[in-house]
Amino acid sequence: MNKLSIGERIFEFFNILFMICLCLVTLYPFVYVLFASLSDPSWLVQQRGLIWFPHGLTWDAYRLVFENPMITSGYLNTLFIVVVGTFVNVFMTALGAYGLSRQNVMWKNPIMFFIVFTMFFSGGLIPSYLLVTGLGMLDSLWALIVPGAVSAFNLIIMRTAFQGIPISLEESAKLDGANDFTVLVRIILPLSLPVIAVMILFYGVGHWNSWFGALIYLRDRELYPLQLVLREILITNSTDSMLTGAGAADKMPIGETIKYATIIVATVPILLLYPFLQKYFVKGVMIGAIKE
């Protein structure tokens, strides 16, 4: 420990310095956005360069963001997709993982191959789109839930976790007359809460952040999830004005702070949950890594 050579000391110094810089580079964009969203709009448009504190603290931008009906309806749609979608995901994944983790199931390996193959080969965007529209899910939030009901990767993670539960528990329950549904609900699931937390996190964050499905399957703006609304506010509008070269409306002082406030409003829920979930997602990546 204390016998570090000069070279090792120099390395350690630069290593720590590098890590500090990395953290700054990671965090500063969010800090900038937060401070800018709270600043006085007319000050912000003249501001050049870094911001280290909110100038002329004001909540106006946030008030306008929440008055925007697209944001509130987007929030509600996203909430629906996250809650219902994640429930469907976890339910289906648990069903599959249970069956494929049991011993003495004759068709287990063929079914596993049937599922894993889809990780390496897919029909592609257009056939999937035609299928989903053909099933009448165009302009329905179900189009964002059903086609992605199970992820093969998450199924493997959950299966690995289920395999780790001692078989003796299942056997003694079966002797007492329990069937597989009872075993899954009463024994396996209560013993798998960490992996279920991981699944909720992976699927939930996926639903919260996804936007492409909504772009192709939804025409009705009332159904837009938050991310698609964000895309209009943050990207489409600004590139439009960029391309037409005008951008006058965009440069209305309050417009800028509204953008920043929108980013914060859309990001905060994830960031608030983050510290509580952190210990689980590291675990999730591990379980997935043990056995591919």
Partner 1 sequence: MPVPEKATAHTGSQAQPGFIRRVIRDAKMNKYIYLMLLPVVVYYAVFHYGPMYGIQIAFKDYSPALGFLESPWAGIKYFEEFFNSHFFWRIVRNTLLLSFYELVFSFPAPIILALLLNEIRHHMFKRAVQTITYIPHFISIVVIVGMMVDFLARDGLINNILGWFGVEAVAYLREPEWFRSIYITSGIWQGVGWGTIIYLAAISNIDPSLYEAAKVDGASKWRQVLHITIPGIMPTVIILLILQMGSLMSVSTDKILLMYNSSTYETADVIGTYVYRKGLLESNYSYSTAIGLFNSIINFALLILANTVSRRASDTKLW
Q: Which tokens go with 43?
A: 């000050």
Shortest Cβ 242–partner 1 spacing (Å) = 7
Could you say which of 10, 83, 125, 185 contacts partner 1 (CB under 8 A)?
125
Residue type, 178: A
Please give the helix or strand (H or E) that residue 80 lies within, else none: helix 69-101
Distance CA 184, CA 169 (A): 11
Examine residue 203 and tell whether it contacts partner 1 (CB under 8 A): no
Query: Taking CB under 8 A as the criterion, which residues in 58-77 touch partner 1?
Result: none
Q: Which tokens go with 49?
A: 């360069």
Cβ(173)–Cβ(189) below 8 Å: no
Q: How far is CA 222 from the centre of its chain?
A: 22
Sign of CA dihedral 113, 115, 118, 120: negative
Distance CA 205, CA 196 (A): 14
Could you say which of 57, 76, 268, 282 contacts partner 1 (CB under 8 A)?
282
Nearer to partner 1, 64 or 216 (CB): 216
Examine residue 187 and tell whether it contacts partner 1 (CB under 8 A): no
Q: Which stretch binds partner 1 (CB under 8 A): 43-51, 52-60, 65-73, 162-170?
A: 43-51
Distance CA 225, CA 85 (A): 13
Examine residue 261 and tell whether it contacts partner 1 (CB under 8 A): no
Query: Taking CB under 8 A as the criterion, which residues in 154-173 touch partner 1?
Result: 155
Examine residue 107 and tell whether it contacts partner 1 (CB under 8 A): yes
Examine residue 106 and tell whether it contacts partner 1 (CB under 8 A): yes
Distance CA 112, CA 119 (A): 11
Examine residue 13 and tell whether it contacts partner 1 (CB under 8 A): no
Question: Smallest Cα–Cα separation from 151: which of 76, 86, 216?
Answer: 86
Q: Which stretch binds partner 1 (CB under 8 A): 29-37, 66-74, 157-165, 192-200?
A: 29-37
Examine residue 242 and tell whether it contacts partner 1 (CB under 8 A): yes
Rg (CA), the chain: 25
Examine residue 276 and tell whether it contacts partner 1 (CB under 8 A): no
Nearer to partner 1, 113 or 168 (CB): 113
Could you say which of 121, 166, 177, 249 contacts partner 1 (CB under 8 A)?
121
Nearer to partner 1, 62 or 260 (CB): 260
Shortest Cβ 63–partner 1 spacing (Å) = 20
Give 216's contacts (C-beta < 8 A, 6+ positions apart): 129
Nearer to partner 1, 49 or 190 (CB): 49
